[in-house]
Amino acid sequence: MSEIPNDNSDLSGADMDYIMHNTIKSVTKDLEHFQFNTSVSRLMEFYNAISKYQRKKEHSYSYLRQCIETFVLLIAPLLPHYAEEIWESLGNDYSVFRQNWPIYDEAKIKRNMVEIAVQINGKLRDVIEISVDASDDESEKLVLALPKIQLAIKNMEIRKIIHVEKRLINIVLGK
């Protein structure tokens, strides 16, 4: 699942921190388990995030460089010659393989908000961002207030609401 926002909004430093540290964690785990396809997929998402951050009008050059260097360190086991060339072209001394492996910060991977899929009778109708600390009742109230949901449940009886924590809310309608 891609962590990069699909809209045209700029990536903030916090978004980049999340993506970078999540990528470090995922790639480290994937390489330990020889799951190279998922590593490549995560690295592609990270590369796309770096590109999006670079296009941002006001970005920190030093932070962008840190992201690029982290990317190069992460691709080194998969693309050793390419990584070495990029490392050298960045003006770094020594070999990319003499550098320490990046370490992720667990605090930067935690999210305050979570996307919840909203279904009616098992069919996806909307997606909403809710605080991870929101109770089931609060989440359900927010979902029932969504315009798309109000339109879809108009004049229908709600038989029950199934809440899968931090993943989805399914509204089961009756006749």
In angstroms, the CA 47 to CA 69 distance is 11
Task: Say which residues have a Cβ less than 8 Å from residue 89's Cβ, sequence separation at least 6.
Answer: none
Nearest to 87 by CA among 54, 162, 79: 79
Instruction: List pLDDT tens digits, range 85-118.
Output: 999 999 998 899 999 999 999 988 887 788 899 9
**Topology at the third CATH level for domain 13-109:** Isoleucyl-tRNA Synthetase; Domain 1 (1.10.730)
Task: Give backbone dihedrals phi and psi of 155, rounded to 5 degrees, phi first.
Answer: 60, 20
Predicted local confidence at residue 126, as pLDDT: 93
Nearest to 128 by CA among 140, 143, 112: 143
Q: Assess whether pLDDT exceeds 80 at residue 39.
A: yes
Lowest average pLDDT, out of 21-35, 37-51, 77-91, 154-168, goes to: 154-168
Among the four given CATH numbers 3.10.20.590, 3.90.700.10, 3.40.718.10, 3.30.565.10, the one describing domain 113-174: 3.10.20.590
Rounded to 10°, the helix 61-75/80-89 angle is 160
The domain limits of the chain are 13-109, 113-174
- Full-model pTM: 0.68
Q: Assess whether pLDDT exceeds 50 at residue 51.
A: yes
Average pLDDT over residues 21-39: 95
Average pLDDT, the chain: 90
Q: Assess whether pLDDT exceeds 70 at residue 6.
A: no
